[in-house]
Amino acid sequence: MKIQSKRMDVFQPSIFTKLKLMKLDYTKRTNKKTIDFSVGSPNIAPEPSIMKVMQEAVLVPENYKYAINELPEMKSAIHDWYQNRYGVQLEEDEMICLQGSQEALSTLFLALCDQGDIVLVPDPYYPIFSDGPKIANATVEYMPLLEENDYLIDFDSIDPEIARKAKMMIVSYPNNPTCAIAPDSFYEKLIAFAKKYEIIVLHDNAYSELVFDGKIGKSFLSFDGAKDIGIELNSFSKTFGMAGARLGVMVGNKEIIRVYNTLKSNMDYGIFLPVQYAGIEALRHGGKGIKSTCQAYQDRRDLLMEEFKKAGWMIPKSPATMFAWARIPESYKDSLDFTVDLLEKTGIVVTPGQAFGQQGKRYVRLALVQDKEAIIEAGLRLQQADIFKNK
């Protein structure tokens, strides 16, 4: 009896599942603790007021009914946040709530793409950027993000024939995993390109509040013409530390929102009301914690660069996100080979860049989720292992 559908052929066990097994094996064999920089799960808690609102709402029996639609206060809070933070005016039918932005990255293509439709995806990429279109039997064409181009999509290098056939394009800045940010001129080129070839743009803006060194993140929708051709995803996970609460938003082109809302209404019963109330509190009063969260990640970035440099590992200064994107020594076959050796010699766990696409073969991603003491300890382990000597 055949169990698995052909659709499942696009999936392999998650790299994080593999890394977890490697960690367990290392600890069992060596009786040593690992220092894990692999999984980008935020470890900075939400503002106390956000947690208090959710705590109180959880104790209200009426909040356990199906939510179906967003609370009016939820949409009002999203409207005001986008206007005050980004200068973007949203109408009632230009926004919809999600159970985390990954929900839309997984299922939006089912609503918009037919079998064989082309979706342009950056490489390296957050894995669901590639898997989501494949679930819908769309065809993925990759757009290389190169270090020499500051990891920006090079629109001139996209084959015009492929562009003419493309239905959608996924864009995400600040970028995971490369940490790159995009200048205003990039978004102007993006919108012109999408209009020329009639391509729907999905912009994932999960890290707009984690931009460092005094710079301010922007919204794709703040640029003229963006609503004509696309939508933006935003997340409460990184901005407000609500990763486990699963809340995100899709905003922008009202026709895309309408189509997705039809699909969504047949698939779930809305966002748990206590989560919505916490989200409203976050948007209305949780802003004061954003600056300190951003500063905490920036401080970790600076310390990681400083301590790892002592061991000979020169890591570029991430302009944004909660990650660092670092080259591996040329002596290693690829980033997986380096990751295995690094764990074996130091107990340090990183994510091999090739898990994010072929363009990540010579890089690894480090999540800035360890505290000061752990980062310093990791630096000492690197020095003792002497991995980067003469490499």
- Tell me how long the chain is: 391
Provide the pLDDT for residue 390: 56
Handedness of CA 329, 335, 338, 343 (dihedral sign): positive
146, amino acid identity: L
Classify strands 348-349 and 35-36 as parallel, antiparallel or unpaired.
Answer: parallel
Instruction: Give the span between the Cα atoms of 192 and 205, in whole angstroms.
Output: 19
Buried b (16+ CB within 10 A) or exposed e, 56-71: ebeeeeebeeebeebb
Nearest Cα to Cα of residue 64 among 249, 279, 285, 277: 277
Q: Which residue shows structure tokens 């707009």?
A: 208
pLDDT in tens, 181-213: 999 999 999 999 999 999 999 999 999 999 999
Phi, psi torsion values for 234, nearest 5 degrees: -135, 155
DSSP string, 247-263: -EEEEE-HHHHHHHHHH
Provide the pLDDT for residue 55: 97
Contact residues for 5 (Cβ-Cβ < 8 A; gap 6+): none
Contact call for residues 209 and 175 (beta carbons, < 8 A)? no
Phi, psi torsion values for 140, nearest 5 degrees: -100, 130
Provide the pLDDT for residue 220: 97
DSSP assignment letter at 138:
P
Instruction: Give the span between the Cα atoms of 310 and 384, in whole angstroms.
Output: 11
Phi, psi torsion values for 342, nearest 5 degrees: -60, -45
Contact residues for 256 (Cβ-Cβ < 8 A; gap 6+): 112, 200, 230, 231
Contact call for residues 207 and 232 (beta carbons, < 8 A)? no
Q: CA Rg, the chain, in Å?
A: 21
Instruction: Give the span between the Cα atoms of 55 and 41, in whole angstroms.
Output: 22
Question: Residue ranges of the chain with pLDDT lower than 70?
Answer: 390-391
- Cis peptide bond prior to 72, omega within 30° of 0: no
Residue 120: alpha-carbon gap to chain centroid: 17
Longest dimension (CA), the chain: 65
Buried b (16+ CB within 10 A) or exposed e, 225-242: ebbebbbbbbbbbbbbbb
The helix or strand, by DSSP H or E, that contains position 245, with its residue range, turns out to be none
Tokens of 6: 């052909």
Nearest Cα to Cα of residue 353 among 343, 364, 366: 364
Instruction: Give the span between the Cα atoms of 102 and 383, in whole angstroms.
Output: 38
Contact call for residues 283 and 263 (beta carbons, < 8 A)? no
Instruction: Give the span between the Cα atoms of 243 and 241, in whole angstroms.
Output: 6
Tokens of 280: 């409203």
pLDDT in tens, 207-233: 999 999 999 999 999 999 999 999 999
How much helix, strand and coil, in percent to the nearest 5, is found in the chain? Answer: 50, 15, 35
Query: How far, in Å, are 176, 336, 347 from residue 341 at the CA level?
Result: 24, 9, 9
Please name each of the domains of the chain with its CATH number.
6-44+298-385 (3.90.1150.10), 48-288 (3.40.640.10)
- Cis peptide bond prior to 274, omega within 30° of 0: no
Nearest Cα to Cα of residue 96 among 239, 244, 257, 255: 257
Provide the pLDDT for residue 13: 83
